[in-house]
A and B are shown apart, each in its own frame.
Chain A
Amino acid sequence: MTSITVNPVACAAYGYCAELLPELVTLDEWGYPVVDGAPVPPTLVALARRAARECPRRAFLVDEAPDPTGRGRSRAQAGR
């Protein structure tokens, strides 16, 4: 299961994530992203990774499903 989280300390409300991924990210009245913990649908995983790459503050995190083979991308690598 792939999911997305926001590091609220790093986030500075650039809002790129909401532009790239409006299906999963909404902005609050101050421009900060609101995400729920729901799994990212497979069709949106690529866009979620792009949103993570584009975030100027590296605050948008894609948490990849642990690969059963143990060779999957780690949390630290996700979205880079």
Chain B
Amino acid sequence: MTPSLATRTSDPMTAARAPDRRGAGTMLLGAHRAGYGADLAGHLAYHGQPPLPRAGDAGWPERLAAAVEASGLTGRGGAGFPSSTKLRSVGVAGATLVVNAMEGEPASTKDKALVSCAPHLVLDGAQLTARAMGAARIVVCVADDDHHSARVMSYAMAERSGTGVSPVTTTLARPPAAYVSGEESALVSWLDGGPGVPTFRPVKGMPLSVRRRRALVHNAETLAHVALIARHGPGTFRSTGSPDAPGTTLVTVTGGVARPGVYEIPMGTRLEDVIAPARPTDAVQAVLTGGFGGSWVPAAALGTPYAPRPMAAVGGVVGAGVLVVLPRSACGIRETARVAHYMAGQSAGQCGPCVFGLPALARDLTDLADGTADVTTVRRLHERLTAVSGRGACRHPDGVARMVHSALTVFAGDVTAHVGGAPCAHQARPSMLPPSTAR
């Protein structure tokens, strides 16, 4: 077992407040729940000092990487790779560490929630990771329409300057708010003075660069977890969640619920228990998991543990942690058509199969929901799903195809009824999708 990296400090201010620090090592939003301010004083009172390396401690980067590896933390941005891999990237001296708080997923609000409640946890994680990699600078990316997060972040960055908890230069960047802007090659392209659209990378995993130096992109939530693991050790992180998928995660629950919002849950919590606190307004018909480029899961699978492997077994996705609840009273095909139309509009417009394929998919789905489609349309829809998959510079078309494919499976009964000529009974019903899709 790797020892904790935390350096114990006895801060008289902390002791005087006799703080309630239950759950301090495991919850990202713990300080917020315990009533501590999101400012630096509140953050340090609850979490203590970040365990940055002492000068000349050459073994520190590897100890941090080992602690993160032992914790089993995986990237919380969607891809879900082990986080220790990026920490051990070689040849990154002088690199840029990019903090992705872009909230690219239209239905997601987890980056906003995390930045609002715990900006210093994100910044601690960025500093620790930057020091471990030998990165020269940190750039925090907040979308140009997310003014609240930007204000909180710039305030937090100003508070840290000159305090010793910010050894690596940190700046805030405001890339354009668009679905594909948060994709890592798009983000890095924009930071490097480019157009901010996904880049074609012929070799899988080809390194990204800013000013001809390596750039590594980390999701904000992933970094916040690193800040806790560095303080309390991997054992504390693993004390919650499941052995396969340890720790907690942030989930945005939205759609047909009375209390949409961001919930922090232990990985492996049953799907129905994840959505229960958001209070579904009606019997649940299905859940769109992993965001708009994710996958529908039927109500029959609500007992599934919310973690990458068990979710994949029922055709679901954890991804960036979005759950859109579809009530029994809504039409899955109609809502899927709406999502597909929205996603078609979010294409960067670079790759033919995405530019032409996504609107074609959306039109087929609309015809289906209108009751004007026949079996030929359904067959063509399946062919088009194959035609758009894996044919773009980024995974945008693949995600849409996956989502539509899951809809044709989960709502197979509706497909049959619509092909039989029955138009959708819910045609005039307003969408249950979150309003951010009107963006």
A: residues with CB less than 8 A from B are 5, 7-13, 28-32, 34, 61, 63, 75
Closest to B356 in A: A30
Interface of A is mostly: loop
Decide: A8 near B202, CB < 8 A? Known: A13-B352, A28-B353, A32-B353.
no
Whether the Cβ atoms of B387 and A8 lie closer than 8 Å is no
Whether the Cβ atoms of A10 and B200 lie closer than 8 Å is yes
Q: Which of A5, A32, A63, A75 contacts B352 (CB 8 A)?
A: A32
Closest to A37 in B: B390
Decide: A75 near B202, CB < 8 A? Known: A8-B391, A8-B392, A34-B387.
yes
Residue B350 CB within 8 A of the other chain? yes
Closest to B387 in A: A28
Given the complex of chains A and B, what is the CA–CA distance between A32 and B350 in angstroms? Answer: 13
Given the complex of chains A and B, what is the CA–CA distance between A7 and B351 in angstroms? Answer: 9
The contact sample of 28 A-B pairs, CB cut-off 8 A, is A7-B200, A7-B393, A8-B200, A8-B350, A8-B352, A8-B354, A8-B393, A9-B200, A9-B350, A9-B351, A9-B393, A11-B351, A11-B352, A12-B352, A28-B353, A28-B357, A28-B387, A28-B391, A29-B384, A29-B387, A30-B352, A30-B353, A30-B356, A30-B357, A32-B353, A34-B387, A61-B202, A63-B202
Interface string of B193-211 (1 = CB under 8 A from A): 0000001101000000000
Interface string of B329-362 (1 = CB under 8 A from A): 0000000000000000000001111101100000
Q: Which of A5, A11, A12, A29 contacts B202 (CB 8 A)?
A: A5
Residues of B within 8 A of A5 (CB): 202
Residues of B within 8 A of A11 (CB): 351-352
Given the complex of chains A and B, what is the CA–CA distance between A10 and B384 in angstroms? Answer: 21
Residues of A within 8 A of B202 (CB): 5, 7, 61, 63, 75
Residues of A within 8 A of B393 (CB): 7-9
Tell me the chain B residues, 44-71 only, with Cβ under 8 Å from chain A: none
Q: Which of A8, A61, A75 contacts B353 (CB 8 A)?
A: A8
8 further A-B contacts with Cβ under 8 Å, apart from A28-B391, A30-B353, A75-B202, are A8-B351, A8-B391, A9-B350, A9-B351, A9-B393, A31-B352, A32-B352, A34-B387
